[in-house]
Structure 1
Amino acid sequence: MFIPKLRWQDVLDIFIIAFIVYKLLILVVGTRAVQLLKGLMVLGLTAAMANLLELKALTWLLSRLFQAMLIAIPILFQPELRRVLEELGRGHLWKMRKGQERLEALAEEVLRAILYLASERIGALLVLQRETGLKEIWRSAVPIKAQPSQELLVSLFWPGNPLHDGAVILDRGTVIAASCYLPLTEKSDLSRWYGTRHRAALGVTEISDAIAIVVSEERGEVSLAVSGRLSKPLKEDQLRKLLIHYFRGKEEPKSFFDRFRQSLNDEDLVVEDED
């Protein structure tokens, strides 16, 4: 069997084509072009099977259909093709995928929602799910399954909304459910200044590795619960850093959350019980 010699130019050629296809697929992800591509794949597989089984009539029909699609595809994919050309003109097509920017944008959306809720003194409780699943909590709540945004989160906690009571659970880039009722902490030494939301935040972090963010309705402060410990009010830059690390999904042995959990033992972050 003859095996052609593979030159380094061939390897480079394959890599460039694969890179271009990869970038083009990234550009169409989340658009209707994905469904059109799936339809073309189904037709291609059907044509291959028809040719293999020698179904002459079906093979003839599909071949004519593909010929017609050479004209139809540029029309069907006009918005996506225009987008590709625009990205190519800006030079974005050759850059690395901007996944980190997208994740940071999600973090900013959540941050703006929290800061707005705090400024308006609207009570809120967000739970950031990590490795430990919280299905036993959110499966009995109201499913949302949407990308987090400032408008969505604010509306969920807005007074008068039937879902404003309870917590909202996020799993990275998805708002899983709202109106989730969490187990309350059994700590008896918690200050009376902290109500149900803070006790629920501590409770869920005692039974899982989740992170809970609490917006105080009375004081307009934002606190964080990690591993059954409650922080003092967080500043905006601290909250931004935490959210960016969460959405990036970096779970290193000595992650930001591990360092933050350890820092809760410092006097400048741990909540001191008030009588």
Structure 2
Amino acid sequence: MESADLLVFEALRPRLFLIAYRMLGMRADAEDIVQDAWLRFCTSAHDEVRSVEAWLVTITTRLSIDRLRSRKNEREAYTGWWIPEPVVELVEHTPEAAAELASDVSVAMLWVLERLTPEERAAFLMRKVFDQEYGDVAIMLGKSEVACRQLVHRAQERIRQDSPRFTVSKSMHRVVLENFMQAAAQADRDAMKTLLSVDVEYRADGGGKVPSLDKVLIGTGRVAGLYWAVENAFRKRVAYRMVRVNGEPGLIRYIDGKVESVQSFCIDAGTISSIYVVRNPDKLQAIPSLQ
């Protein structure tokens, strides 16, 4: 192994992590995949590797697909809703850093990607997110270019069906969320209702570790009522903090100073259309308590 190869790997590490994370939705799994890709490179025949970057991207994608296939039984045995592990930024970083967590890795987008097959997910991400040529995608997946085009087309159709009808700017997203955070903190159900779409959907992932809803909660009254109930059940013990969750404005909710949940919001036409709440403590370990 040459030091130049290590420098290339370190430069590529963020990209490789995002490839694996987009595929798997779990930070720990993504980090393991990237490390495994590097170890395989170290033991490979380097004289047969034309491009270190192409080799690492390909092996990271293939390892991610294998991991997706192998965890099918894990998902089927998972208690309640499975929501991707959030990547939380407690402070604002540079625009360049923020760009690394673009809308295509938002919790809402990862939720939609979970509905795809491993091959559809990989083909879509490599072609539409990472702008790989179909010939390269075909080599990565071991399929023909025609088959890869079909995979991407099916993925696009599914994503189009499940995605918001309208997009909003990050500033509008933040304004709506700030207003909702204030209304929730004040247990103001009427104010919350004005910020929720009529058919708003609320999903929560407790992983069987903490109490959580096992069904989708739908409607302004029910969702606003849930936030109202939490505030009243823990009077003066609840606090919210605005953070970036997968590159978009989101919330951490604390109870008695400890992280209770990380919440992601999909804004559609100026109101909140979907809420994804991660309560599984295994997915919140990296987030510090409220100072």
TM-score of the two chains, using structure 1 as the length reference: 0.28
Larger Rg: 1
TM-score of the two chains, using structure 2 as the length reference: 0.27
